[in-house]
Amino acid sequence: MNVYEIGNLSKMLANNTYPGRGIVLGVTPDGTKSVAAYFIMGRSVNSRNRVFVQEPDGIRTEAYDPALMKDPHLIIYHPVRQIGQGLIVTNGDQTDTIWEHLAKGESWEAALRTRQFEDDGPNWTPRISGLLAGDGSYKMSILKAADQSGSACTRFFWEYPAVSGLGHFLHTYVCDGNPVIPTFQGEPERVSIPDDIEVFTKELWENLNENNKISLFVRYTDLKTGAYEQRIINKQGE
């Protein structure tokens, strides 16, 4: 077993009909840019009725057709927000919790200790979060139910240095399931990161399950200047 093996993200996604929501953070092979990606998937009409919309400090989700929105709980939020040279990426409204704590000079760990997994039993969907620093290093976290009844929360935190060509992939589910969807297990997965944002965006979008994918966000940030370019793709309205 090679614990340092770097996985092929295209194959990981192509062979998984439902990883749920996913975060990828890393650095390009030439070491000049940090990379952040976030995608959402859904199985219900309510969940699929969403798009990513650009905000001055990141992106938010909104209903594609407001008339079809039945319950905004857990699906309408601000998944990406800039704070100073850092970028917060999460799968829920814990983005705002992290932003508020960091703005007060507190740690992101302290912020996430005030939160737990989503209240959507029996799945108890994990809250996944990432924090990308200006130097390309990053942190990741997952908050999961400690048991089937959701009686307690387990919290996991990881810190990664900027390593050229290497990224880490964290997602909410292992795969699809019925009636319960199995939650992510273990450490964030090591994946390769390409130099080109167009290549990476295409790699992600084309390998997400066609029936379940909803939206994708990708950002490449120059580590010297802080300038970035980003891509947003929404299935609705394509």
The span from the CA of 197 to the CA of 181, in Å, is 31
- Model pLDDT, residue 193: 98
| Residue linked to tokens 């997602």 | 171
Contacts of residue 35, defined as CB under 8 A and 6 or more positions apart, other chains included, come to 24, 25, 26, 27, 28, 167, 193, 200, 218, 219, 220, 221
What are the percentages of helix, strand and coil residues in the chain, rounded to 5? 15, 35, 45
Q: Which is it for the CA torsion 38, 184, 202, 196, positive or negative?
A: positive
CA nearest to 34, candidates 189, 190, 170, 195:
195
Q: What residue spans of the chain are helical by DSSP H?
A: 9-14, 45-48, 94-103, 108-112, 197-207
Predicted local distance difference test score (pLDDT) of residue 147: 97
Query: Amino acid identity of 64?
Result: Y
Query: How high is the pLDDT of residue 237?
Result: 80
pLDDT at 230: 98
Reported as a single tens digit per residue, the pLDDT across 145-168 is 999 999 999 999 999 999 999 999
Please give the pLDDT value at position 196: 98
Tell me the C-alpha distance between 52 and 64, whole Å.
Answer: 9
Whether residue 204 contacts residue 12, with contact meaning beta carbons closer than 8 Å, is answered with no
Whether the predicted model's global pTM rises above the 0.95 cut: yes
Regions of the chain short of the pLDDT cut 50 = none
Closest CA to 91 of 134, 45, 37, 145: 37
